[in-house]
Amino acid sequence: MTSDTSTVDTPLKKLVGEKTAKALASHLDLHTAGDLIYHFPRRYDERGEHTDIRALDVGEQVTVLAQVQRTAVRPMRQRRGNLLEVTVGDDSGGTLSLTFFGNQAWRERELRPGRWGLFAGKVTEFRGRRQLNGPEYVLLGDQTDTEAAASEQIEEFAGALIPVYPAAAAVPTWVIARCVRVVLDTVAPPEDPLPATVRASRKLVGLGGALREIHRPSSREELYRARRRLKWDEAFAVQLTLVRRKHQAAAWPARPRPPRAGGLLDAFDARLPYELTGGQRDVGTEIAADLATGHPMHRLLQGEVGSGKTVVALRAMLQVVDAGGQAALLAPTEVLAAQHHRGMLDLLGPLAQAGELGAAEHATRVELVTGSLGAAARRRALAEVASGAAGIVLGTHALLYEGVDFADLGLVVVDEQHRFGVEQRDALRAKADQPPHVLVMTATPIPRTVAMTVYGDLEISTLSQLPRGRSPIASHVVPAAEKPAFLDRAWGRLREEVAAGHQAYVVCPRIGGVGAEEEPPAVDDTGRRPPLAVAEVAPLLAEGPLHGLRIGVLHGRLPADEKDAVMRSFAGGELDVLVATTVVEVGVDVPNATMMVVLDADRFGVSQLHQLRGRVGRGSAAGLCLLVTEATEGSSARERLDAVASTTDGFKLAELDLEQRREGDVLGAAQSGHRSHLRLLSLLRDADLIRDARAEAIALVEEDPDLSRHPALAASVAALVDADRAEYLEKG
């Protein structure tokens, strides 16, 4: 096969054979030459450079570069034959045991002390020693081993830097390296889509050279240059997608909703029982200006837990109602939608009682539309929405479907739901004769590079100032396995809070119980027990350490009316303790709740823990959050919890969260369920490169909005940011 007949679109079976191509397709989802060329090495090893065997985790699928130290053959006890045990190590002092079953004298001769090799398998532990059972391996030749050095099997490792690929048990890294070598030698490099002016001004190497060097680097310096170029391509593709979306959205028409003097908003401001913070006023001014323009607002409002985002959103909704339109607020759960409904009715008072005795002059109506409404109540609510009598409509995403018709939908507020999908956007358009204004809210602070990369098509407003009167929250890690007495003390502390007239949450990772998900195994692959469940924990607490307290249970599987009844009971002080899942993570506001105990806290993400913690300290009394864990001291899980306990600064925690999450999760690969084409870009480490790529994208789109003068670049963007990713990025 020659380069003039093979391209990046050539199927791998034509290049590496049907059997190998089938394994690459089924285990790694690699089908074409281009797929394989963009399957980049995870890291690079050098003979003699330590692989740090000591850092391997049990259960991990690994490839290690190590040297054979000694071998031993001993008879097996349970069955006939011998067991070959090979000890390998690196220069960090770490060792790993390789075990091979059966009579394999040839393998003992091959794995002689002093030989270096790559060994791949799943890490297990036996009698305190890390080991690989029957690992795949390839031995590396040296100057004293001319036969091995000449072997085709190790030809790909002739260079000083040895690529180690994301692999599978059936397709080890050296098989991938051999296939990559075949593709690089037979396939013509793809056309370089990057404009020459950008390449020159940013000092970027050509695409063909970058792809060769990343797989077979001639030096560390050339590898750095190759990675920088390929990272640029990923950042540039995302930024071009976002900048073009923003450019297109700016051209859409929208009905202006300017403020009206003496209307609902002015009346609401006059009756507010507290003064707005400076941040709330500033952000309110930005949003008011957006609503008054003839193009749809696309704004993200981020703010710390308890910073007062809901009041900012309500004021925007009232401005739209003053201008003759309707506003819809979409919440992620019925519990939160119902709470918003109660909260807004309280804040608005007579301003929400249009048509009732004692209503204010400019009053409107606030309707709650959820799936659990009875038939008669639903018909009445939908009629209010369709007639326009309900200026403010609250509900879950079901509000967008199920025959809900608006008279004049002017603003959509999305609460605590990171992004809107294309389907929701289209559903909204169908409910309005022109695209409505959109305000997306999140209480998870977003690092600058994530905002630039994931939310780059939105304007961003930040509320960092907490309203006066918010109480401090103390957080502590409770190491339940190491110090069981600390957990006993935690329950004692909770009883003290209740005795003082306060309330508490106990949060579990799982629901459990009758009709629950399949019963999890007693232990998982790594020997951990299943996460604690609400259904099991609540009765144990009621019979044990919290005996005599009024305990309620809340989780997502309860019927909606039951959920609402439990929340009303807790908010009304009829329950002392609420044992719940993360259904209480967002928006739940009970000022008298002062303590939270998070069980199996290491099973939650950083941002989840920050959100959960924000449910306490919402009144005049100080809050306390206890993070209970069996994670051992020094483990990454424990370090994460220690970091959460050390600060309530959401922006610091957002950076920590970014460090600990895979980039693909941040960029939406996890949501799409497809293999991500963004493999090298790090939102944490490549902030400057992302900023530069955005600047170039803005300049290029201003000059060529449709990329019609750059067809190769348009095709490259389409390939790197595939349809699913474009849908994810398009949200908002």
Determine the average pLDDT of the residues in 403-429: 73
Q: Are residues 499 and 450 in the same domain?
A: no
| Contact predicate 350/600, CB 8 Å | no
Give the pLDDT of residue 660: 65
User: What is the C-alpha separation between 118 and 217, in angstroms, rounded?
Assistant: 18
Do 294 and 178 fall within a single domain? no
**Quick one: 477 and 570 in the same domain?**
yes
Q: What is the pLDDT of residue 47?
A: 54
Asked if pLDDT for residue 658 goes beyond 90, the answer is no
CA separation for the pair 476, 158 (Å, rounded): 52
665-680: average pLDDT = 48
Q: Name 173's Cβ contacts closer than 8 Å, sequence gap at least 6.
A: 63, 118, 120, 163, 164, 165, 167
- pLDDT bin (cut points 50, 70, 90) of residue 671 is very low
Given a cut of 60, is residue 147 above it in pLDDT?
Answer: no
Spatial strand order in the sheet of 551-554:
473-479, 623-629, 593-598, 503-507, 577-580, 551-554
Query: What pLDDT, on a 0 to 100 scale, did the predictor assign at position 677?
Result: 54
User: CB atoms < 10 A from the CB of 430, how many?
Assistant: 12
Rounded Cα distance between 61 and 28, Å, is 14
364 pLDDT above the threshold of 60: yes
Looking at this protein, which amino acid is placed at residue 404? V
For residue 24, the model assigns a pLDDT of: 93
pLDDT-derived band at 588, boundaries 50, 70, 90: confident
The DSSP secondary-structure symbol of 371 reads: T
pLDDT of residue 149: 40
Q: Which of 618, 647, 676 is the last residue of a domain?
A: 647
Q: Pairing relation of β-strands 129-133 and 116-126?
A: antiparallel
The pLDDT confidence band at residue 2, using thresholds 50, 70 and 90, is very low
Q: State the pLDDT at residue 109.
A: 85
The last residue of one of the domains, among 198, 221, 254, is 198
Q: Taking Cα atoms as reference points, which of 513, 557, 510 lies closest to residue 532?
A: 510
Q: What is the helix (H) or strand (E) element at residue 109, kind and residue range?
A: helix 105-110
Quote the number of domains for the chain: 3
Query: Last residue of a domain, which of 198, 226, 250?
Result: 198
Tell me, what CATH number does 314's domain have? Answer: 3.40.50.300
pLDDT band for position 460 (50/70/90)?
confident
434 and 300 in a common domain:
yes
Determine the Cα–Cα distance for residues 106 and 82; give it in Å rounded to an integer: 13
Place of tokens 């391996």: 137
Q: What is the pLDDT of residue 155?
A: 45
Same domain? For 335 and 453 the reply is yes
Q: What is the pLDDT of residue 311?
A: 93
* Residue 687 belongs to some domain of the structure: no
Is pLDDT larger for residue 497 or for residue 678? 497
For residue 513, pLDDT beyond 90: no
pLDDT at residue number 148: 41
Same domain, 452 and 542: no
Rounded average pLDDT over 523-532 = 65
Is-contact 51 64, C-beta < 8 A?
yes
In a domain, 404, yes or no: yes
Q: Is residue 601 part of a domain?
A: yes
Write the CB contacts of 120 (distance below 8 Å, at least 6 apart in sequence). 61, 62, 63, 64, 132, 135, 136, 137, 167, 169, 172, 173
Q: Are residues 169 and 141 in the same domain?
A: yes
Does residue 330 sit in the same domain as residue 430?
A: yes
pLDDT at 156 over 50: no
Q: Residue 576's domain spans which residues?
A: 473-647
Highest mean pLDDT among 71-75, 168-172, 260-264, 711-715: 260-264
Task: Tell me: pLDDT of 731 over 70.
Answer: no
Compute the mean pLDDT over every residue in the chain, rounded to the nearest whole number.
82
Looking at the domain assignment, is residue 210 inside a domain?
no
Share of the chain above pLDDT 90, in %: 39
**So what's the pLDDT on residue 18?**
92
Question: Does residue 665 fall inside a structural domain?
Answer: no
Confidence label for 4 from pLDDT (cuts 50, 70 and 90): low
- Please determine, for residue 646, whether its predicted confidence score (pLDDT) is greater than 60: yes
For residue 323, is it within any domain?
yes
Quote the DSSP letter at residue 510.
B
**Mean pLDDT computed over 270-275:** 88
How many angstroms separate the Cα of 665 from the Cα of each of 76, 319, 430, 672?
Answer: 45, 36, 31, 10
**Same structural domain, 357 and 448:** yes
The pLDDT of residue 593 is 94
Residues 179 and 156 in one domain: yes
How many residues can be counted in the chain?
A: 732
Token pair, residue 687, equals 């902030």
Specify if 248 maps to a domain: no
- Between CA 306 and CA 349 the distance in angstroms is 22
Cβ proximity of 419 and 732 under 8 Å: yes
User: Who wins on pLDDT, 357 or 25?
Assistant: 25
| Domain at 192, CATH number | 2.40.50.140
Pairing of strands 61-75, 82-89: antiparallel
Q: Does residue 675 carry a pLDDT above 60?
A: no
Is pLDDT above 50 for 676? Answer: no
Higher-pLDDT residue of 400, 331: 331
Q: How many CB atoms neighbour CB 461 within 10 A?
A: 22
> Is residue 689 situated within a structural domain?
no
- Same domain assignment for residues 513 and 594: yes
pLDDT at 424: 61
Q: Are residues 624 and 506 in the same domain?
A: yes
- Angle between the 636-646 and 650-660 helix axes, to the nearest 10 degrees? 170
How far is residue 207's CA from residue 195's CA, in Å, rounded to a whole number?
Answer: 12
